[in-house]
Structure 1
Amino acid sequence: MSKHLLFSVLGPLLGLFIISLGNGFISSITSLKLDAEGTSDVMIGFVSSCYFIGLALGAIFSDRLILRIGHIRAYSGFASLTAITFLLQGLYFDPWFWACLRLVNGWAIIGIFLIVESWLLLSSDQKMRGRLLAIYMIAFYGSGMFGQISLGIMSEWDEMIPFVLAGILGSLSVLPMVILPRISPEIKEVRPLGIKALFDMSPTGVMACFVSGITIAAVYALFPIYFQRMGLNIHQVGQLMACVILGAMVLQYPIGRWSDHQDRQVVLISLSIFCAVLTLGILFFPATHLLLMVLFFLIGGGIFAVYPVAVSHATDRATIEQLIPSIQGLLLINSIGSVFSPFAISALMSVMGNKGLFWVFFVINIALAIFLMNRRQIRPAPEPVAPFVTATQMSPIGAEIRITEQLEQATIQQREANTDESNTKS
């Protein structure tokens, strides 16, 4: 990677890393604080769902604001708004007030992702997107992991300090954006494929992305509560959350490479069964701290790998014109799952108890495995057309980062091969 390219994306990536540090630990602190104050499970789930509602709404509408006021000003506005929501959370505790703040925070955060991802797109051609995506993932998951580890340090401070620190990080993230970049990217209009068109193209991809949204939202919103109710201190909660995110970062690539050499439906079925077995281990094995770290490292790798493998499976069936719209549509499907997840699962936890979280995980993963087995009987998976590309749940615009030169060329070759086969048969 050239120095010029690295310098052109350094500002956005630094800004993303800094603000994601604060956003990462505030997400856990929000759930932990609500639980410690005796807030009902349903209300905790509602507050958490509001954040994901903000993400979904921002993914749909924020591009219009960015087009109107420009990227630098939009980033500054979103970062400032994020910092304000953090500070207001620290100043006044009320679950309904926090729900409103988390909604605004989700909308502002996805705006930041829109800007950073469009910057990466403008700064590179298709040959370099794979490397930029790897750097992007390190910044995203690395900030989340360090944010969770810092929970133990912040537990010794006054309860207002974490919110102040997150506000400072939000404000500080503006500096790399206004100092380093020399160019302004352009936002393209987002037109994802509709749900029916996606389901007709790849029912497996749609259902796996939907389930992935449910489970990943529950990880961020409800895992900290589960750990706290086990009797773990804040430091231990941070350690286990960091293990989950580390597993997501470390295991996604080898699982993805496995899917390049294996039927991706088989990989998704295996991941679902693997996650279901791990949930039984969490429910029934002795809760030693070391064992929990291993189990949650593995379950993090399994849960977070479902989305990119599902997207890769869906794009194996897509035409060149459908690549970007299909990935954007699958992201919105994933977001729908995220919106309903914390509220619905927390309601079940209020009835089933703390372990209800993992009974829900077990049922969801088994149901997904059964669905995928049935789909495999109806329509076997296509041959992988291009190497797996690691990915997080991006904004709709950032979905284009996944469209590497290899994927585009392989899709064209696949279409030509299908055309030749049809001509031969006729």
Structure 2
Amino acid sequence: MLLGPLLGLFTITLGNGFISSLTSLRLDAAGVPDTMIGLVSSSYFVGLTLGAMFSDRLIARIGHIRAYSSFASLTAVTFLLQGMFSDPWAWLVFRLLNGWAIIGIYLVVESWLLLTGDKITRGRLLAVYMIALYGSGMLGQLGLGALNAWGETAPFIVAGMLSSLSVLPMVILPRALPETGNIEPLMPRHLLRMTPAGVIGCFGSGITIAAVYSLLPVYLQRVGMDIEQVGHLMACVIFGAMVLQYPVGRWSDKRDRQMVLLVLSALCAILSVLILLLPDRQTLLAVLLFLLGGGVFAVYPVAVSHSADRAVAGELVGVIQGLLLINSIGSVISPLIISPVMKHWGEAGFFWAFALVNVFMAMLFLWRRKAHPSPTSVAPFEAAAQMSPAGAEIRVTEELVQAAEEREQRE
């Protein structure tokens, strides 16, 4: 029942993963100013944010299969157009549309997983979803060098083919069609009053994760890496995100989650400085990027879990959806604030800006912990691989709801 959407997701994100890196690399190699690279990168996240807010209406109106086919077709067109045109302003429009279409894909698949499973099996569904999402992203990065060697347009053609092929599992394999519910995230102002540390963590995580996807490839290319080496090192980052998220999450179950967020932010800042200061050895850099990926990608799910510890049972879904919106806003502004730093300070400006963002986050977490100690964890950590508001409900397990209700009764 779930094989079709998961295979479709794996296939389309395989292409989307390496196109995200290749876009920044091609713009940089063409001598496009850092500010323009930031605008093009930011446009993708603008598309993600807008699509997350409005695409559910289209799915509700035409159904999951037709919506997925529409989004996959639009994704394929944006990839092919990138291969045909090289103007940065055109790419800005294509990446905006690509972000809109990709979040539609996530929305279809995540709502499918949510509505065909139950609260008992959601943990297993999320684990499989994470493997499909991160695994395809890692494989896409590993194949970046080989695809680029085929020619300038080959990667865009391959990505377009993968997008088109991703429709086949959805329409051929047996399935049960789910229905889409309403998406009503809590507003940022309400979340800020309820869980300041959660808002800080999700916003800062949006800044850092977007920077990893959009500007880290540029940094690696400028320090002398060829495209194949860039792909391998980006794969190390994604592998670290996939492998280390659960150990960090289980650690946060046993400790003060605010302290875990503080430590993660401090470690990410230290790793950023070490990458700049230690000898230029690719093996050492791969290890540091693996650890950095694990730390950066773990901040968001720990922040969401911390917020869930404070939320009442009836607001859990709205809280997680609202935090995803805040994370998306951070992703939009990330390239816009970090690319000017790289313009003035060179490629090293990427990791100095990265370190500064994480130091600032650590200071805010320290302040919050002193002012308001973290609440006791009400339920075990759940990973946060979901990309759309509908997928936020996957995290709301029966165990989490019961724990929140028990806390409400005690209070």
Q: What TM-score results when the alignment is normalised by the length of structure 1?
A: 0.96
Conserved? CA contact 1:11–1:181, under 8 Å: yes
- Count of residues in correspondence between the two structures: 411
State the Cα deviation string for residues 193-241 of structure 1 (Å, max 9, x = none). 1111101110000011000000000000001000000111111101100
- AA aligned to 1:182 is R
Following the alignment from structure 1 to structure 2, what is the Cα–Cα distance between the partners of residues 81 and 100?
13
State the match for 1:389 in structure 2.
382
**Deviation per CA, 1:336-356, whole angstroms, max 9, x where unpaired?**
000010122101110111111
Task: Measure the CA separation in 1 of the matches of 2:175 and 2:56.
Answer: 21
Alignment match, 2:57: 64
Q: Deviations over 1:59-96 (max 9, x none)?
A: 00001111111111110000000000000100111000
Moved more, 185-194 or 380-389: 185-194
Please point out which of 204, 215, 221 is paired with 2:208.
215
| Structure 1 residue 393, shift from structure 2 partner | 4.7
Matched, 1:164 2:166: no
Counterpart in the other structure of 1:338: 331
Q: Would the aligned equivalents of 1:216 and 1:304 in 2 still touch at CA under 8 Å?
A: yes
Is 2:41–2:214's contact at 8 Å kept on the other side of the alignment?
yes
Q: Provide, for residues 227-279 of structure 1, a one-character-per-residue CA deviation record: whole Å limited to 9, x for no partner.
A: 00011111110110000000000000000000000000010000011001101
User: Following the alignment from structure 1 to structure 2, what is the Cα–Cα distance between the partners of residues 70 and 259?
Assistant: 39
**1:253 maps to which residue?**
246
CA distance in 1, matches of 2:7, 2:198: 32
For residue 230 of structure 1, the aligned residue among 210, 213, 223 is: 223
CA distance in 2, matches of 1:403, 1:186: 18
Give me the whole-angstrom Cα distance separating, in 1, the residues matched to 2:155 and 2:174. 30
- 1:421 aligned residue: none
Aligned-pair identity in percent equals 63
Q: 1: distance between equivalents of 2:114 and 2:173?
A: 17
Q: What does residue range 89-128 of structure 1 map to in structure 2 within 5 Å?
A: 89-128=82-121
Query: Contact 1:331–1:393 (CA<8 Å) still a contact in 2?
Result: no
1:297 to 290, 294, 302: 290
SS in 2 for 1:258: helix
Work out which of the residue numbers 369, 378, 389 in structure 1 matches 2:371: 378
Residue number in structure 1 paired with 2:180: 187
Kindly indicate whether the alpha-carbon contact (under 8 Å) linking 2:145 and 2:227 is maintained by their aligned counterparts in 1.
yes
Report the CA distance between 1:181 and its aligned residue.
Answer: 3.9
- C-alpha separation between the residues in 2 aligned to 1:216 and 1:185? 31
Once superposed, which parts of structure 1, at least 4 consecutive aligned residues long, lie more than 3 Å away?
A: none
Q: Which amino acid aligns with 1:303?
A: V
Structure 1 unaligned spans of 5+: 1-7, 419-426
Does the 8 Å contact 1:253/1:390 carry over to 2?
A: yes
Is 1:51 the counterpart of 2:44? The answer is yes
Matches of residues 276-425 of structure 1 in structure 2 within 5 Å?
276-418=269-411
| Contact 2:139 2:235 survives alignment (8 Å) | yes
Which amino acid in 2 is paired with 1:351?
H
Q: Relative to structure 2, which stretch is displaced further, 388-397 or 292-301?
A: 388-397
User: 1:203 aligned to 190, 193, 196, which one?
Assistant: 196
Q: Secondary structure at the match of 2:149?
A: coil
Match of 1:155 in 2: 148
Give the whole-Å Cα distance in 2 for the aligned partners of 1:182 and 1:279.
45
Q: Distance in 2 between matches of 1:287 and 1:416?
A: 56
**Contact 2:45–2:331 under 8 Å retained in 1:** yes
**Residue aligning to 1:423:** none
Partner Cα separation in structure 2 for residue 154 and residue 279 of structure 1 = 29
